[in-house]
Chains A and B, each alone.
Chain A
Amino acid sequence: MLSPDELRMIDYLHGGFPLTERPYADVGAALGMDEAAVIATLERLLARGDLTRFGPLFQIERAGGLFVLAALSAPQDRFEQVTALVNALPEVAHNYRREHALNMWFVIGTESVQEAADVIDRIEASTGLKVHAFPKEREFFVELRLPLAADDCTEGSGHAVVGV
C-alpha cells in the first residue's frame, strides 16, 4: 500500500519534471522533502513496481515514427511461449493479456511504417500465428489523470496517468 507521501509524489511528478541542474532537490523543495529522500522514494517506487518508469515519455510520431496496436490469438497451451516470443522484440513497448478470442494485445513502437510491418512479419513467422494490426486512424483523447487517493473514480485529490 502506498503512503500518502508516495501518492503525493506520484501525483506531483505526473509531468513537468524540472530541467534544472538539481531537479530532485527542486522537487524536494516543492514537496517539503530533501533531495536524498526524493531519490530514495523514487528508487523504492520503481523497485516495488508501483512506477514502471520515471523519465521522458517520447511521442515518436513527432519524428515520423509510430505506435501500432496489434493483436493475436494465442492458444492457451502456448500462451507463455508466445508471450516470450512477442516480448523478446525490443520494438514491442507494451503487451497485455485480455479476455477475448484475441487474447494478446501489444503496441509496437518504431521509427517507420516499414519497420512496424517488419516487426509484425517477424512475430507471425516466429509464432506461426496471424497478427491483426490496428493502427490508429484518428486520436480523440489520450491520457487521463485518475484520482489516486479516493475510493471513487470521481473524487480525490491525487491523480495518476494510466497508459495502455
Chain B
Amino acid sequence: MPLSEFDRLLITATQGGLPLVPQPYAEIAAHLGVSSERVRERLGQMVDEGLIRRIGAVPNHYRLGFTANGMSVWDVDDAQVDRLGEQIGALPGVSHCYRRPRHPGVWNYNLFAMLHGRNRAQVEAQAEQLRDLLGAACRGHEILYSTAILKKTGLRLAKPGGTAPAES
C-alpha cells in the first residue's frame, strides 16, 4: 500500500524526531495545518499497522557501554538455513538476524546475526553458541566488528513534491 500524501507529510515531519515541547503533536499539527487529534490518531494507526515499529528513544549503544558490536556472518547450508535462522534469532544476545544473498567469489555468507557485548570476549562467546547450534550445516564464519558509526540518521523520505531533504 503506497503512502498517502498525508502519511508522507507526517513521516517527513517526524522522521528526524518529535519536538521536545510540552505539546509535540500540536506543534506538528500546526506545521501541517491539521488538528492535533488527526496527528495523534494517524500515528496510533501507523503503530497498529506496523508502519511505525515503535515511538521512543534510539540509544547510541556505544555510549551505553556496548562497545563491541559484531556482525557475525555464516555460510550455512541452503537447505537448512531457514530452520537454523529461526533458532539463531531466538538466542539471547542476537539483535538482528537475516538471510541475505551470497556474492560468489566475493562473499559466501548467507546468514547474518548481529552480536553485542561490553567487550569482544562477550561477542566471541555468543559466536561460539551460534557455531555450536549451526554444527555441520555451517561451512565457515567471520565476525565483522564495527569500529566507527559513520552515520546513523534513520529513514529520510523526500518531502512531497520536493527534492531530497538536506541532512541535519
A-side residues, CB < 8 A to B, are 2, 9-10, 13-17, 19-25, 35, 39, 42-43, 45-46, 48-60, 62-64, 67, 69, 83, 86-100, 102, 104-106, 109, 111, 132-144, 146, 148, 151-154, 160-164
Contact = CB atoms under 8 A, between A and B. Distances in A.
Interface of B: 1-3, 7, 11, 14-18, 20-26, 36, 40, 43-44, 46, 49-61, 63-66, 69, 71, 82, 85-86, 88-90, 92-101, 103, 106-107, 112, 114, 116-118, 122, 142, 144-158, 164-167
Given A56-B14, A64-B2, A162-B95, A50 B59 contact: yes
A162 B151 contact: no
Contacts of B99: 136-138, 140
A39 B20 contact: yes
A20 B69 contact: no
Contacts of B15: 55-56, 58
A106 B151 contact: yes
Given A42-B20, A52-B60, A143 B95 contact: yes
Contacts of A161: 58-59, 95
B23 A21 contact: yes
Contacts of A153: 92-93, 116-118, 122
A90 B158 contact: yes
Q: List 4 tightest A-B contacts by C-beta distance, closest first.
A: A141-B89, A140-B89, A15-B54, A144-B95
A141 B115 CA distance: 12
30 contacts: A10-B57, A19-B25, A21-B25, A21-B36, A23-B25, A24-B20, A46-B20, A48-B63, A51-B58, A51-B59, A53-B17, A54-B58, A57-B52, A57-B54, A58-B53, A59-B53, A62-B1, A62-B51, A63-B2, A90-B164, A94-B151, A94-B153, A97-B150, A137-B100, A139-B98, A140-B99, A141-B96, A153-B117, A162-B59, A164-B95
| Main secondary structure on A side of the interface with B | mixed
Contact of B145 (A39, A58, A98): A98
Contacts of B66: 146, 162
A136 B17 contact: no
B43 A94 contact: no
Contacts of B22: 22, 24-25, 35, 39
Contacts of A146: 61, 64, 66, 95, 116
Say whether chain B's binding surface is mostly helix, strand, loop, or mixed: mixed
Nearest to B10: A56
> Taking each of A54, A89, A143, which has the highest tally of chain B beta carbons within 10 Å of its own beta carbon?
A54
A132 B105 CA distance: 12
Nearest to A73: B106
In this complex, the member of A53, A56, A91, A136 whose beta carbon has the largest number of chain B beta carbons within 10 angstroms is A56
Contacts of B164: 89-91
Contact of A56 (B46, B95, B122): B46
Contact of B56 (A17, A59, A89): A17
Given A22-B23, A91-B156, A99-B145, A55 B16 contact: yes
